[in-house]
Amino acid sequence: MWVDGLDDPLRGAQLTAVIEQTGNPWQVIAQAASVAIDGVAAWRRVRVVLPPSILGHLERGATQLHEPIAAVGRIAQVLLYCDGRTPLVEHWPFAGSQVGLAVYNDDFLLARQLAERGLPLLSGAQYARGGWRHRVGVEIALNAQGLEGEWSQLDVLAMGAATATAARLTRLPEALRGADLRFAIYGLAAASPSADYLERQVEQEGQRQGLAFSRASNLPAEACAHLGRLLEG
């Protein structure tokens, strides 16, 4: 099992903030910087989504915006909202930084292009809504490799997930405890009977302890690295 933030217990797992389109691009970027600076004090990971006007300025050659955006990217992950595909991907001005794209719908070609370049991508209708915020207090990942059909062991894993999350919550500042609780399952085929069973058990164990879990399809890179080492072992 991987539990986010055991070494940094006073900050929540993640904040995602969509910046509203207000004023000129400099004002938008300044607002993003303010959200990022304030966010990292309370959250381990901060993602800010810039409105589509910023990508439009970049596509029209506004190179003077490169450094301010990259500077925000040194504090938080920055996603440029894109209404479709953009030629900027072919000549990405933010190589080596935490700057990627956010799109409305899944786009597998764009996802592959960005993955080849090591750039982040988010997809979802919520990223088109200026002012939208999403807070995740605790994230956990469960390694269920080899537990297909092992119902009693899956029960134990679910109980451990709920107990670990409850313990993690007690360390968080009270203002952050209302944020979402997310878990992901590794090592079981998606939608398999065992994966569905484990998901139900985690949710039920959470309810017994007053916790409302939601399942995530992905988790941060450190979770993948940790579970990868377990899967190799």
Helix axes 52-59, 25-40, angle to 10 degrees: 120
Answer yes or no: do 24 and 124 share one domain: yes
pLDDT for residue 2 = 87
Residue at 166 is within a domain: yes
Residue at 12 is within a domain: no
Tokens for 79, please give them: 């996603």
- Which tens digits make up the pLDDT trace of 2-38? 888 888 989 999 999 999 987 899 999 999 999 999 9
- Which tens digits make up the pLDDT trace of 112-131? 888 888 889 999 999 999 99
In DSSP terms, which residues pair with 80 in a beta bridge? 50, 101
Q: In whole angstroms, what is the distance from residue 39 CA to residue 41 CA?
A: 5
Average pLDDT, the chain: 91
pLDDT for residue 232 = 59
Give, for 121, the enclosing helix (H) or strand (E): strand 121-123
In the listed set 128, 145, 165, which residue is the last one of a domain according to the structure? 128
pLDDT at 220 over 80: no
Global pTM reads 0.88
Residue at 13 is within a domain: no
Share of the chain above pLDDT 70, in %: 93
Which residues form the domain of 172?
2-6+136-232
